[in-house]
Amino acid sequence: MSVRFEQVTKTFNGSAVVDRLDLAVDDCELVVLLGPSGCGKTTTLRMLAGLEEATSGDIFIGDERVNDVPTRFRDVAMVFQNYALYPHMTIAENIGYPLRVKKIPGEETNQRVKRVAEMLEIGGLLKRRPRELSGGERQRVALARAIVREPRVYLMDEPLSNLDAKLRVYMRGELKRLQRELGTTTVYVTHDQAEAMTLAHRVAVMRAGKLQQFDTPLNIYNRPANRFVAEFVGSPSMNFIEGRIDRSAKMFVGDGLAYRLEETQLARLNALERVTLGIRPEHIEVSTTEQEGWLKASVYVSELMGNETFVFLRLGDQRIVARAGADFRADIETPVWARIDVDKSNFFDAQSGEAIR
Amino acid sequence: MSKKQRKHERRERLAQLAKYFVLAISLFVAVAPVYWMLTISLKSEVDQFATPPKWFGFDPTLAHYSDAFVSRSFGKYLITSATVAVLSTLCAVLLGTLAAYGLARFRLRGSLDRRLSLWILSTRMFPPIVTAVPLFLLMRDLRLVNTIPALVIVYTALNLPFVVWMMRGFFKELPRELEEAAMVDGDSRLGALVRVILPLVTPGLAATAVFCLIVSWNEFLLALVLTQTDAAMTLPVGIAGRVTQYEIKWGVMSAAGVVAMIPILVFAMAVQRYLVRGLSLGAVKG
């Protein structure tokens, strides 16, 4: 079932938490709402669930406008950050609750609960109570309670953020498989860009109530719409170098570096004077020996990750980070040479922060 | 064993002794009057006034009990008291719980929810005697003086602020997501309240109900003003009525007192577990 937001605004005490949001989620799609806390992503999800009322605009599930439909008739299932399991009920009762409310016969309820529990590998826990379960198990119960109903849309509000790092990565994969198998439209809220990248068909990046970019994970990563998106997605974060365009020399001139631009790039930058160069750490090559035409820099600090090394460089007054191989070694303050892959770089308007394409 | 250790042990034992001593005194202060009442209710009138007082070793008699509950109308008072206490508790808990839920969960314009809560509490801040005369006039105009409904209404009003404040505290402690989950799962708000929220505040609800029962059961002042005849007289008023111009019926009063005590005692013991949990539940966050 598709989901559509049309010019949806939500204000609390006069300030807009969600500002004229337009978003269309296709049937069977998993869309991640990504953004820092307070960006309006959870509010958006709650409006879709009917737990918050939209101040203006229209929300559709399928072709039905649901603004005035009470939560319980919207036929959506939600997984909460703290799971919100009913503490006084057994796991079986928890999972079966949505069916009992719908007055589905006990025999059928039992069968469906059992089937879903087995699917999520919690079949052995049905007689226990939530407080006897570990975080990961509770997480599965919350999922089972959502799945058992076969709703029109799944809503997930940071469902993995209460799990430890290892379990989170594991459950992330499980969730992805589950969603692809069930093929149910899902709106997923998170502030974790790794979750967004790995789970989503498309990612909607939000900031201060406004949608910044709505695109596939790869496009979000490679072609961010503005500086905010570029900075928010990717770890370590994208490097930004302020500079200007010297048209006569066909050069980008930044602090401590200058390099030649190709005609096509120059054309894109049209009349702009001041621009910001954005470059991902993996598009900066570092060498401890001098290379012809590379930029001279010094090592501020280098962090060994085991499989790779993050090298923080001082380039003029700038501090930038490069991603180097696992065997890269350099002491603090030693001179190194760096090459920026200009083809992979992004340019942003220095004033507005919008990407230049 | 070293000297130091022995000294330490002696001190420990002393501390234990002191603890039990204090406990014993408290227990005596609490229990002695009750024991005295119990013995008086079982003593003949001669034994009641014996000097030195007979703490033990008297011939027990049930004469006062039969006097109170067979010859006199204490049985009727007992039934009235029970009816009034149970009905008013039910009303107060039902209305108060719903009000408390509303005040705990919904934000009203201009923080009216907070102000309303304070107004409700403020009705408990003046002495009840202040309302006695207005209540009497009101009940007289409604032709409810000397009736059970009058007492039920008044006790419900008396208990309502307490119920609202207790239950509001319990509700506030529960995460909102529980009801939200229930509503997303297809339940109505009332359904979520009944199926999800209320089972979780049962200890608090039980504690609150017991308090209401005790207050209604023991209430004397308003019952005295609002009832004059056996038609709707409660036990406390009935007992006090045995202090007459010519004699004080100690035996009858004590017998009735013992009987009046029993239901509360039984009830409190039955819900003791909940009582402690319920009270401390609200203590952390209010």
Write out pLDDT tens, residues B174-208: 888 999 999 999 999 999 999 999 999 988 898 88
d(CA A343, CA A261): 9
d(CA B64, CA B255): 6
d(CA A111, CA A130): 21
Q: How confident is the model at residue B280 (pLDDT cuts 50, 70, 90)?
A: low
Main-chain phi, psi angles of A340, to 5 degrees: -95, 130
Contacts of B177 in chain A (CB under 8 A): 80-82, 84
Q: Do B184 and A51 touch (CB under 8 A)?
A: yes
Q: Which of B185, B189, B202 to mutate to test the interface with A (most CBs of A within 10 A)?
A: B185
What six digits make up the tokens of A97? 């609750």
Q: Is B222 exposed, middle or buried (0-12, 13-18, 19+ CB in 10 A)?
A: buried
CA nearest to A310, candidates A294, A300, A318: A300
Cα dihedral A153, A147, A198, A196, rounded to 10, equals 50
CA nearest to A146, candidates A135, A134, A157: A157
- Give residue-wise pLDDT tens across range B227-241: 888 888 888 898 888
CB B248 within 8 A of CB B45: no
Amino acid at B8: H
- Give residue-wise pLDDT tens across range A20-70: 999 999 999 999 999 999 899 999 999 999 999 999 999 999 999 999 999
d(CA A33, CA A25): 11
| Interface predicted TM-score (ipTM) | 0.83
Region A244-257: mean pLDDT is: 80
Give the residue on B whose Cα is nearest the Cα of A95: B185
Q: In what order do the strands lie in the sheet with A185-190?
A: A76-79, A153-157, A185-190, A30-34, A202-207, A210-215
Between residues A33 and A271, the one the model is more confident about: A33
Number of H helices, E strands in chain B: 15, 0
Which residue in the set A50, A70, A84 is minimally distant from B181, CB to CB? A84
- C-beta atoms surrounding A263 within 10 Å: 8
Chains A, B: CB pairs < 8 Å: 63
- C-beta atoms surrounding A198 within 10 Å: 15
Q: How far is CA A327 from the centre of its chain?
A: 31
Residue A76 touches chain B, beta carbons under 8 Å: yes
Main-chain phi, psi angles of A238, to 5 degrees: -65, 145
Q: What is the pTM of this model?
A: 0.80
d(CA A251, CA A261): 5
What pLDDT does residue A203 have?
95
Q: How confident is the model at residue B159 (pLDDT cuts 50, 70, 90)?
A: very high
d(CA A45, nearest CA chain B) in Å: 12
Q: How confident is the model at residue B285 (pLDDT cuts 50, 70, 90)?
A: very low
- Give residue-wise pLDDT tens across range B88-116: 999 999 999 999 999 998 888 878 888 88
d(CA A156, CA A189): 6
Strands A30-34 and A202-207: parallel
Rounded (to 5) percent helix, strand, coil in chain A: 30, 35, 35
Highest mean pLDDT among A135-144, A213-222, B219-228: A213-222
The 8-class DSSP code of residue A72 comes to G
Which residue in the set A86, A98, A155 is minimally distant from B186, CB to CB? A98
Residue B283: pLDDT over 60: no
Residue B122: pLDDT over 70: yes
Q: Do B181 and A51 touch (CB under 8 A)?
A: no
Main-chain phi, psi angles of A303, to 5 degrees: -115, 120
Q: How confident is the model at residue B282 (pLDDT cuts 50, 70, 90)?
A: very low
What six digits make up the tokens of A110? 């039992």
Q: Do A86 and B187 touch (CB under 8 A)?
A: no
What six digits make up the tokens of A342? 């200009």
Quick one: residue A170, left, alpha or beta (phi over 0 = left, psi -120 to 50 = alpha)?
alpha
CA nearest to A301, candidates A334, A256, A340, A278: A334
Q: Do B184 and A149 touch (CB under 8 A)?
A: no
Q: Is the dihedral of CA B170, B171, B175, B178 positive or negative?
A: positive
Residue A78 touches chain B, beta carbons under 8 Å: yes
CB A328 within 8 A of CB A286: yes
What six digits make up the tokens of A95? 């999972």
- C-beta atoms surrounding B261 within 10 Å: 14
CB B49 within 8 A of CB B250: no
Q: Is B159 exposed, middle or buried (0-12, 13-18, 19+ CB in 10 A)?
A: buried
Average pLDDT, chain B: 87
CA nearest to A199, candidates A30, A80, A34: A30
Cβ-proximal residues to A287 (8 Å cutoff; 6+ apart), any chain: A294, A336, A337, A338, A339
CA nearest to B117, candidates B127, B129, B104: B104
Between residues A150 and B56, the one the model is more confident about: A150
Q: How confident is the model at residue B30 (pLDDT cuts 50, 70, 90)?
A: very high
- C-beta atoms surrounding A288 within 10 Å: 15
CB A184 within 8 A of CB A151: yes
Q: Do A86 and B177 touch (CB under 8 A)?
A: no
Quick one: residue A68, left, alpha or beta (phi over 0 = left, psi -120 to 50 = alpha)?
alpha
